[in-house]
Amino acid sequence: MRIAFFGTPDITLPILDTLRDEGYSPAVIVTAPDRPQGRHMEMTAPPTKVWALAHNIPVLQPEKLEADFLSQLSNVNCQLSVVVAYGKIIPDVVINAPTFGTLNIHYSLLPKYRGASPVEAAILHGDRETGVTIQQMVFKLDAGPILAQKTIAIADTETAPELLEKLNTTAVPMLIEIVKQFANGTTVPSAPQDDSLATSCTRIKKEDGELLATDSDETKYRKYRAYFDWPGTFFFDKDNKRIKITRARYENNTFIIERVIPEGKKETDYKNF
């Protein structure tokens, strides 16, 4: 089974490790171009490229998924594509190019929370559970037939990175089972999504992390948990200086700030601040 893997961030690495361990190491990895990062804006390769080079796997890093890229991908002659947090809209011609089409891991119970931030959305809405969906991709955002789905409880104190790691751990064996079925020539049953039940979530912006005076304490804590990784939560003091919250808790229906980083200063206890 020749697989093309589309993905960019760290969250994809356990999936790649398991594919390799199970004998389904990708024939090619498609990821984002190198970007300047850090204080000195040094050109940095995405995690999947680093992984690919360490395992002697070819890498494609197109800015746009156009004719040149499709020609390069066609030369690899893959039977299946797998997409996980790739970060670009994939054209129909690319989705349908492999024999068995393209699979996608989505971190929600589709059709709920179609879009770029399903894990954060579940926390922001105070959901008690979420899940993982393996879908057969179509050229409509997260609207493909469902091949597998599993529900996961959300803990009261769980942050988005913690929940995503738990979801990813659940997703890996689900994906491997479906890949094995395709490789063995087994028909993989699917179920269409009910579009009437679909909800959406958007790409997160830096300003989303601001805690507003009109927010309830519960909303503040949900924002803190949802945006823990990025963009973080913050507020502005009377001098319009940004104060980033690095540690907080929710106790007796009260949002309690414990640690902060005042703009231009070092991290400190909130009480000291």
Strands 80-84 and 59-60: unpaired
Residue 6 dihedral angles phi and psi, to the nearest 5°? -105, 115
- Report the percentage of the chain scoring pLDDT > 90: 92
Q: How many residues does the chain have?
A: 273
The pLDDT tens digits for 174-211 are 999 999 999 998 878 899 999 999 999 999 999 999 99
Strands 42-44 and 28-30: unpaired
- Report the percentage of the chain scoring pLDDT > 70: 100
Nearest to 117 by CA among 3, 205, 43: 205
DSSP bridge pairs for 35: 44
Tell me the average pLDDT across 38-62. 93
Say how many Å lie between the first and final Cα of the chain, rounded. Answer: 58
- How far is residue 132 from each of residues 53, 69, 110, 152, 168, measured CA to CA in Å? 29, 30, 8, 8, 8
CA distance linking residue 67 with residue 208, whole number of Å: 37
The DSSP annotation for 155-196 comes to: -TT--HHHHHHHHHHHHHHHHHHHHHHHHTT-----B---GG
Tell me the average pLDDT across 49-60. 97
Q: Place 235 in a pLDDT band, splitting at 50, 70 and 90.
A: very high
Tell me the average pLDDT across 242-257. 97
CA distance linking residue 89 with residue 173, whole number of Å: 26
pLDDT at residue 117 above 80? yes
What is the structure's pLDDT at 273? Answer: 84
CA distance linking residue 223 with residue 208, whole number of Å: 9
Q: What is the 3-state secondary structure (H, E, C) of 189-252?
A: CCECCCHHHCCEECCCCHHHHECCCCCCHHHHHHHHHHCCCCCCEEEECCCCCEEEEEEEEEEC
CA distance linking residue 167 with residue 183, whole number of Å: 24
Nearest to 98 by CA among 171, 17, 15, 26: 26
Q: Which residue has the tokens 């939560």?
A: 233
Handedness of CA 90, 83, 67, 33 (dihedral sign): positive
Mean pLDDT over the full length of the chain:
96
Please, are residues 34 and 5 in contact by the beta-carbon 8 Å criterion? no
What is the structure's pLDDT at 38? Answer: 75
Of 31-35, 184-188, 252-256, which gets the smallest average pLDDT?
Answer: 184-188
What is the structure's pLDDT at 240? Answer: 93
Enumerate domains of the chain plus CATH numbers: 1-100 (3.40.50.170), 206-269 (3.10.25.10)
